[in-house]
A and B are shown apart, each in its own frame.
Chain A
Amino acid sequence: MRKQHKFSVPEASGPNRQMLRRTLLLMAVCGAAAFALLLARLYKLQILDHELYEQKALEQQLRQAPTAPARGDICDCRGRPLALSASVDNVYLSPAEIRQYGEDRELIARELSRILELDYEDLLEKTGQTGSWYVTVARKVERETADEIRAFKNAYGIRGVRLEPDSKRYYPNGSLACHLIGFVGMDNTGLEGVEAQYDSALRGSPGKSLRSTNAYGTELLFESFEDYVPGEDGCSATLTIDAAVQYMIEKHLRQALADYDIQNGAGAICMDVNTGAILAMVSLDGYDLNAFLDVSDEVRARMAAAETEEEAQEILDAARARQWRNKALSDTYEPGSTFKIITLAMALEEGVVDEHSSFYCGGSVSVKGRTSPIRCWKSGGHGSQDLTQAVQHSCNAAFVNIGLRVGPKRFYDYCEAFGLLKRTGDPDENLSARTGIDLAGESGSIWWSENVFCSERNQSQLAAASFGQTFTVTPLQLITAVSCCVNGGRLMQPYVVQSLRAPDGTLRYEHEPVVVRQVLRPETSARVRRILEQVVGDPKEGTGRNAAVAGYRIGGKTGTSEKVSLEARTGQKEYIVSFIGFAPADDPQIALLVFLDTPSDRSGIYISGGQMAAPVVGNMLADILPYLGYEPELSEEERGSAVPKLEGKELTEAAALLQKEGLRLRTVGEGEIIRAQLPPAGRRVDKDSQVIVYLGTEAPTAPQTVPDLSGLNPEQARELLESRGLFLHTRSPLADAESKIGYQSVKAGTLLSPGAVITVTLISTDDSILGRY
C-alpha cells in the first residue's frame, strides 16, 4: 500500500463531463485558432507586406553619409583655372558621447576655441548639449586646421569631436567672369552661372555610403551594415571663355564706368561670330566669387543707416540680387541704332534697297498712324544720301524708309528668323524669344503682337522698329543676330561650355556649333560687312569712327537708346549707349557688344554711343586683336617711329639716324659721344617726337608723374609729356584737328621712369558726330 500524501484531499474527484467538453473547446480556441490567427497576421506582415515595411525601416535606419564627390574644375578655353575645389572638413561635436565617455568638456572647448579661433564659452555650452549627437562647430575648415584637430583628438583619445569631409570652392580670379562662372552654396550646389547650369555634371554622382545607424544617428555596434557605392567625381568643364579677353574687356569697361559716371552698370559680350562661342561676357558691377555674399561699402553704409532691421535686410537682398544679375543675359533693352544692322541686312536680302539706292532726309519723316512725324537725330536732316551714307550717318529717316520698303510682314518674319521673337500661333499675343544659351537666367525679348505690328492703318511700330525702338531684346540676342549678319548669314546658337571631361580625362561632352538657320545669303552678309566697315573706317562720315583701331579693319554700329518707358513714367531722360563691332571686317572672327546703362552728363562727354561706347570697343579691340594673333597692318604714319640705338655713337651720326626715322633731337650736356638716351632704343613713338640724348652725363632716373591727357590733341599731349621726359604713341587712325585724346594706356597720376611711352587713342569731337544715334 502506497503512502497517502498528507495534503491529499479526501473529497477529491476528477473533472466532470461538462468540464472536459469545455476544456476541449478552450483547447481548440487557445491552442489552435488563436495561433492560426497570429500566423495569418505574421504572414501578412512578413511575407505579403515585407517590401513595404523593409523599405520604410531602411529609410530610417540608413544614413547616406556625406561622401561628397569632388566638384569638377572649371577652366577657360586655354586651360586656365576659373573654379577649383579643395577638400575641407566640417567639425562637429557629439555631446552625448562626450558625456558617455566622460570626456573633459573644458579641455575640448579650450582646444577647439584655440584651433578654430571660436568663443570658448559658446563651445563649452555646446559640449553640454548632452541630448544631441550632432552639434555643428565649424564648416569648411581648411586642411591644416583640420589636421590640428585630428592631432588633438588622437592625443587625448577624444571621441566626442568629429570631422566629416566636405569640399570648398575657390575662384582664383576673384570677380573675373563672376556672372558666367557663378558660385555654389554651402551645400555645394551651383546657384548661378555655369555652376548652376552644369551643376549635375560638375557635382558628379554622390558616393552613396549607406550606413546603418541607431536612432541617434551614430554607428551600430557589431552588425553595422555598410554599403559603399563609390560616387563619381564631377566632370571638369572647359569654357569658351578666354580669361585674358575677359580681363581686357572688364578692364576697359570698368574704366568706362568711371570715366562716364555710369549710373546703372554696364555689360559687354564678345562672341566668336562663326561658332556662337562666347569669348567673354561681362556685367558690372560684379562681385568676388569667393565672397559672393559680401556687398560694397556703400551698401553697408546704407544698411547701417537703415532704421529697422527689415529695412537693412531689404537693402542687402536688393544689393545682392543686383550684383548677381548678369545684365548681358538678364536685362532687356531697346537696342536703338545698333538694330539698323538687322534692318539693313533684311532689306539687302530682300532686294528692296541696294548700294545705289538714294534716301533723302529732311530731318523728319511722316508715318501713317502717327500724329507727329518721326524726327531724325539730326534736326537739320542729312539731305540726300546713298545707302552706305545712310548707315554711316545712322539716319533715322532713311531707315524708316527702308523698314517701310521691307514691309511689316517680312520685317516680322526676319525678326523671327534672327531669333528675336517666336510665333506662337496667336497673332494677338505679344511675342518673346530666347537664344537658348547654356546659362541660367536668360531673359526673353518683348515684341508687339503680329496684329499690332502688321497693322495697315498704323505703321508707327514698324517705323520705330526699323531703327531699334519700341521693342526690347537682350544684349545676347542682339549680338547673336548681328553675328549672323556678318558671318555669312548663319544664325548660331551661343554657348559657353566647350567640353566636359570625366575625372579620368575621357571626353563626356563636346559642343558642336549649332546652326539655328541660314538667314541671309553669304553675298548679302558680305555687303552688310562692307557697309558697316565704312561706319567705323571712314574718318569723315562714319559715326562709329571712334571705334577705329590703327592697323585693323573693323566694322560696327553705334546705338543710343532712350529709355522710352522710363521717360513716359517719370519724365526723366535716360539712355543706354552702346556699340557693336566686329573684326576683321573682311573676314569677321569676333563680334563685341558694349552697352553702358545710363551715363551721366556730369562726365562732360556727349552722351551717345559714338562718343562713349565706340571708343571703349576700340580700346578693347586694340588689346584683344593682337592677343588673338591678328597682326595690325599699320600705315607709315600709324606705325610711328622706332627709336634707333644712339648710345656710344657720335652726335652727328645720331642726328642722321634720327632724321631718317623722322624724329627730332635734343641734347643735354656737353661732349661728342652719347652716354645715354631717352627713350631707350627700339621703342615706338609718334613721328616728330623729340629724342633726348645725354652727352657726358647720365640720364635722369627720378620718376615722373603721368599727366592727364584727356581732351588734349596729340601735339599738346606730346609737348606735355616731353616736358617730363615721357613720350607719346598715338594708336588711332583719326587725324583731323578735332580729334582729342580719349584714352591713355597709363592712368594719370602714375609714376613712371623717364623715357616711358604712353599709348593713346583719339576720339573725334567733330560737331557732325555729336548726336543721339
Chain B
Amino acid sequence: MRYDSARLAGSSPAVTLRRRAEFDGDFFLLVLLLLGIGVLMVFSASFPRAYYDPSGVTGGRAWYYFVRQLIYALLGLGLLLLCARLPMGFYRRWAFPFLGLTLVLLALVPLIGVKANGSRRWLGVGSLTVQPSELAKLAVILCFSAMICRYREQMRSFRRGILPFLGILAAIVGLLVLEPHFSASVIILALGGCMLFLGGAGLGWFAAALGGLGGGLFVLLTFFPYASSRINTWRDPFSSPSSEGYQIVQSLYAIGSGGLTGLGLGAGRQKYLYLPEEHNDFIFSVVCEELGFLGAALILLLFALLILRGYRIALGCEDRFAFLVCAGITTLLALQVFLNVAVVTNLLPCTGISLPFFSYGGTALLIQMGEMGIVLSASRERKERE
C-alpha cells in the first residue's frame, strides 16, 4: 500500500493510530521455526561435550545444555508474547531509564564481572549470568529511535544529529573496551551507525566515520599485538592449526566435510571435542557439517526471510519510533547472523559473536526473543483505514 508520510505527519483524521489485535503471523512463524531448529541443534552440538564433560560442569549428563536451552527457549517465548502485547509507547517511555540501567550494569562488569578467557563480560547472579552488552544493543536501538523522533528535522545538524548519539556510543564502547569486548563494540558501533543512517544523519558523517574507523583499525593492529595476531590467523589459519588457528581450522573441517547433504542430524563428528564452542559461537559449523550445504542454505534462507519480513514490518509502521525500533532490531539481527556466519566460515577474523536462536546462552536468547516481541508489537501498530 502507498501512503503519504507528509500527510501522516499532519495527523490527518482520515487515518488514526490504533493497535490491532493480532501481530504479524509470518514473522512469528519464522521466529518459531528458527528457535525450534536452533534448540534442536544445541542438543545435537552439545551432547558430546556435556557427556565427556572436560570442564567438569555437566557431570556427564548429555542432556545438560539442551534442557537448559529448552527452558530458556520456553521462557523466551513467554517474554516474546509479553513484549508483543506491550505498546510501543511503553518502550519509548522506558528507553532512557533502560539505557541508564544498562550503563550501570556495564560499569559494574569490569568491577565484579565473571572472568572467562581473559575477559570479564558477564554479570553473575547465582547461576544466572547476563551479558550487559546484549542489553546495551537493545538500549542503543530504543534510545536512538526515541532521540531521532525527538530531534526530527534537526538530525542534519552536528549538535543535535550526531553529538548526543556519539556521546552514548562512546560511553557504551568505552565501558566495553574495559572488559574487553571487541566484538560487541563492533556490533554496537555498526548498529548505531545504521540507526543514524536511518534517522537521516548526513552521509558526510558516515564517510568521516569510515575514515576514522580505518585509522582506528590501523592503530589497533599496529599497537595491539592481540588484534594483529588475530588478523594473521585469519589470513592463514593453517599456519598454526594447533594453536591460534585451531578453532577456525576445526570449524572449516566441520563445514567442509558437510558437503552437499551433510552427515545427517546428530551424526557430526567435529563436535566430539575437536571443535571448541561447538554449541555456542560455532554452532553453525555443526549445522553445516550435519545438514550440509542444503540445510545450511535453508537456515540462512529462513534468516533472510525473517530479516526481510522485519524490514517489511518496519516499512508498514505508522509511527516513526516503531519504524525505527523495528528496523533497528532487524538490522541488529542481520548484523549478528552475518558476522557469526562470516566468522565461522573465516570470511572475517575470529571473534566471539553468537548466532541468534542457535547459540547456547540463556539470557542472550531471552533478550533476542524480547526483541522479536518488540518487532511483533510494532507490527500491531500499523495504519488501518477507517
A416 CB to closest chain B CB, in angstroms? 55
Q: Is A598 engaged at the interface, CB distance under 8 Å to the other chain? A: no
B331 CB to closest chain A CB, in angstroms? 6
Given contacts A23-B314, A30-B331, A52-B256, whether A14 and B274 have CB atoms under 8 Å apart is no
Q: Which residue of B90, B269, B335 contacts A57 across the interface (Cβ within 8 Å)?
A: B269
Q: Is A516 engaged at the interface, CB distance under 8 Å to the other chain? A: no
Q: How far is the CA of A9 from the CA of B296 in the complex (A)?
A: 43
CB of B200 within 8 A of CB of A47, answer: no
Question: Quick one: which of A42-73 are within 8 Å of B by CB?
Answer: 42-43, 45-47, 49-50, 52-54, 56-58, 60-61
CB of B11 within 8 A of CB of A13, answer: yes
Which of A210-218, A491-499, A664-672, A754-762 lines the interface with chain B?
Answer: A210-218
Can you list 9 A-B pairs, Cβ within 8 angstroms, ordered by A? Answer: A26-B198, A37-B342, A46-B256, A46-B293, A50-B260, A54-B259, A100-B52, A212-B272, A222-B266
Which residues from chain B contact A19 at a C-beta distance below 8 Å? 198-200, 320, 323-324
Q: How far is the CA of A41 from the CA of B293 in the complex (A)?
A: 10
Q: Which residue of B3, B266, B300 contacts A38 across the interface (Cβ within 8 Å)?
A: B300
Question: Quick one: which of A453-491 are within 8 Å of B by CB?
Answer: none
A-to-B contact residues, CB < 8 Å: 2, 4-9, 11-20, 22-24, 26-27, 30-32, 34-35, 37-39, 41-43, 45-47, 49-50, 52-54, 56-58, 60-61, 100, 212-216, 220-223, 225
Which residues from chain A contact B51 at a C-beta distance below 8 Å? 221
Q: How far is the CA of A49 from the CA of B311 in the complex (A)?
A: 35
Interface flags, B85-103, vs A, CB<8A=1, else 0: 0011110110000000000
Q: How far is the CA of A61 from the CA of B307 in the complex (A)?
A: 37
Q: How far is the CA of A19 from the CA of B153 in the complex (A)?
A: 12
- Beta-carbon nearest neighbor of B86 in chain A: A7
CB of B267 within 8 A of CB of A54, answer: no
CB of A39 within 8 A of CB of B253, answer: no
Given contacts A17-B5, A34-B334, A42-B345, whether A60 and B274 have CB atoms under 8 Å apart is yes
Which residues from chain B contact A50 at a C-beta distance below 8 Å? 256-260
Which residues from chain B contact A11 at a C-beta distance below 8 Å? 149
Secondary structure at chain B's binding surface: helix, strand, loop or mixed?
helix
Question: Quick one: which of B285-320 are within 8 Å of A by CB?
Answer: 288, 292-293, 296-297, 300-301, 303-304, 307-308, 311, 314-315, 317-320
The 3 closest A-B pairs by CB, nearest first: A53-B256, A7-B89, A214-B272
Most A CB contacts (10 A, CB to CB) among B89, B257, B335, B345 go to: B257
Q: Is B144 engaged at the interface, CB distance under 8 Å to the other chain? A: no
CB of A26 within 8 A of CB of B274, answer: no
Question: Quick one: which of B48-64 are within 8 Å of A by CB?
Answer: 48, 51-53, 60, 62
Which residues from chain B contact A53 at a C-beta distance below 8 Å? 252-253, 255-257
A87 CB to closest chain B CB, in angstroms? 31
- Beta-carbon nearest neighbor of A30 in chain B: B334
CB of A14 within 8 A of CB of B327, answer: no
- B contacts with A, residue count (CB < 8 A): 78
CB of A20 within 8 A of CB of B315, answer: yes
CB of A7 within 8 A of CB of B5, answer: no
CB of B48 within 8 A of CB of A15, answer: no
CB of A213 within 8 A of CB of B272, answer: yes
Q: How far is the CA of A221 from the CA of B272 in the complex (A)?
A: 9
Q: How far is the CA of A350 from the CA of B330 in the complex (A)?
A: 104
Q: Is B18 engaged at the interface, CB distance under 8 Å to the other chain? A: yes
Q: Is B77 engaged at the interface, CB distance under 8 Å to the other chain? A: no
Given contacts A23-B314, A35-B303, whether A45 and B345 have CB atoms under 8 Å apart is yes
Which residues from chain B contact A54 at a C-beta distance below 8 Å? 256-257, 259
Given contacts A14-B320, A61-B269, whether A38 and B341 have CB atoms under 8 Å apart is yes
Which residues from chain A contact B47 at a C-beta distance below 8 Å? 221
Which residues from chain B contact A214 at a C-beta distance below 8 Å? 48, 52, 272-274
Most B CB contacts (10 A, CB to CB) among A6, A19, A37, A216 go to: A19
A47 CB to closest chain B CB, in angstroms? 6
CB of A46 within 8 A of CB of B269, answer: no
B40 CB to closest chain A CB, in angstroms? 16
CB of B8 within 8 A of CB of A215, answer: no
Which residues from chain A contact B320 at a C-beta distance below 8 Å? 12-16, 19
